[in-house]
Amino acid sequence: MMPWWLVMIFLKYSTKAPNSSFDYSDPNTWATSFPMCGGPMQSPVELTAGRVAFSRTPKLRFAQGLKDGKIEAMNTGHEIKLKLMPKDRNEPLLQLISNTKPMNGVYTFAQMHFHWGPGGQHSGSEHCVGHKYTEAEAHFVFFNSRYGGFKEAVRHFDGLLVIGVMLRGAQQPGGLAFPTLGLENKLDTIDLPGNRLTMSADLTYFKTLLQHAVGNFYSYHGSLTTPPCNPVVTWMVAAKPVDVSSTFLERLRTEIFEDADGTRPLVNNCRPTQGRSGRTITKHISIG
Ligand SMILES: [Zn+2]
C-alpha cells in the first residue's frame, strides 16, 4: 500500500484528470495513470454499520429563491453533472453546517452528478448497503469553505464532503422521489460530451430530499470515485434509497454518449467497491 507521505505529495500537486484520459472499461487500470486510485482510503465501499451514533442532524442552509432556480446540465463524458443555482446566482445554493465529527465545519455546495448502470435492478449505484446495489446513485459535492473553492479543497484531507443518495427506478416514483424536474425530456440535447443545457427549475424539492438524506446516513472517510481519486472526501450516504423515474434512468442509458461520435452509450459509470482496510463506517441516527 502507498505510504501516506507519498499520498500527501500527490495531493499537493494534484490536478483535474483531463476528460478523455480515463473510461469505465476497466477501472482497475486507473492507478497506472493516477497513482492515488491505487492508494489508501478509496471509495466506494460496501456499507455496513460498524458503529452506530445518535447525533444531531447537520444543518442545511439554503439560499432564498429556490422556486425560481436554474439548472445547468452538462455531459462530461463520464457523467451528467448539474449546477443548481438559486434566483440570486451570487449566493451559494446551499451550505452544510455541522459541529459533529467527522464533518466538522461549513461546507459549500458545488455540483451534483449521477452514476448509473446498464439496467437491471442490482447494479448501477457505487455504494451498496450490505450486498445490495440500486440502479443509480446521485452525488452532491461540497467543498470545505475554509479552502475557498473546490480546486484548492481537493488538495486537503478534509477538503470535500459528498452526500450520496442511492436511487431505485420506479414507474411511478412514490414518497420522497428524486426530483428530475423534466430533465428526462431534454437529455437528447446533451447527448455528446461537452454539450450543456440550461433550464429554469423549482429547486425546492432538493431541500426536502437532502434534509431527508442527512437524517439517517452512513459516514466514513474515502475518496473521489473518479481519477485522480484524491482521498479527501467525508462521505455521507443516505441510509435508505429513494425512488427515481425509471424513464429518466432509461434515457440516461440510451441517450447519453461518452464519445464525440455518439457511438458508445455511457453506461456503467460506476466504480466497483474498494477495500475498507480497517476503516470504520458509522451509521448516524438523528436525534433531531
Ligand atoms: Zn460521483
Closest CA to 112 of 183, 58, 47, 169: 183
Residue 20 has a pLDDT of 67
Grid cell of 122 as nine digits? 442490482
> 28-64 as b/e, with b when 16 or more CB fall inside 10 Å?
eebbeebbbbbbbbbbbbbbeeeeeeebebbebebbe
Q: How far is the CA of 56 from the centre of ligand 1 (A)?
A: 26
Residue 244 has a pLDDT of 96
Q: How far is the CA of 80 from the centre of ligand 1 (A)?
A: 10
Beta bridge partners of 83: 72
DSSP classification of residue 16: P
Residue 138 has a pLDDT of 98
3 state DSSP class of 106: strand
- Answer whether the bond into residue 228 is a cis peptide, omega within 30°: yes
Say which amino acid occupies 140.
Answer: F
CB atoms within 10 A of CB 120: 10
- Which residues are in the CB-under-5-Å shell of ion ligand 1? 139
CB atoms within 10 A of CB 179: 19
The CATH number given to 29-286 is 3.10.200.10
Q: How far is the CA of 132 from the centre of ligand 1 (A)?
A: 18
Q: How far is the CA of 79 from the centre of ligand 1 (A)?
A: 8
Q: How far is the CA of 279 from the centre of ligand 1 (A)?
A: 20
Gyration radius from the chain CA atoms? 18
Closest CA to 125 of 283, 270, 277, 280: 270
Q: How far is the CA of 42 from the centre of ligand 1 (A)?
A: 13
Domain extent listing, the chain: 29-286
Contact 173, 245 (CB under 8 A): yes
Q: How far is the CA of 78 from the centre of ligand 1 (A)?
A: 10
Question: What's the rounded Cα separation, in Å, for the pair 96 and 136?
Answer: 24
Chain position carrying cell 478509496: 42
Beta bridge partners of 190: none
Q: How far is the CA of 215 from the centre of ligand 1 (A)?
A: 21
Question: What's the rounded Cα separation, in Å, for the pair 45 and 272?
Answer: 8
Q: How far is the CA of 166 from the centre of ligand 1 (A)?
A: 11
CA angle 69–177–272, rounded 5-degree value: 100
Q: In tens digits, what is the pLDDT along the chain, a chain of 288 residues? A: 788 889 988 898 888 877 668 999 999 999 999 999 999 999 999 999 889 999 899 999 999 999 999 999 999 999 999 999 998 878 889 999 988 777 889 999 999 999 999 987 789 999 999 899 999 999 999 999 999 999 999 999 999 999 999 999 999 988 889 999 999 999 999 999 999 999 999 999 999 999 999 999 999 999 999 999 999 999 999 999 999 999 999 999 999 999 999 999 999 999 999 999 999 999 999 998
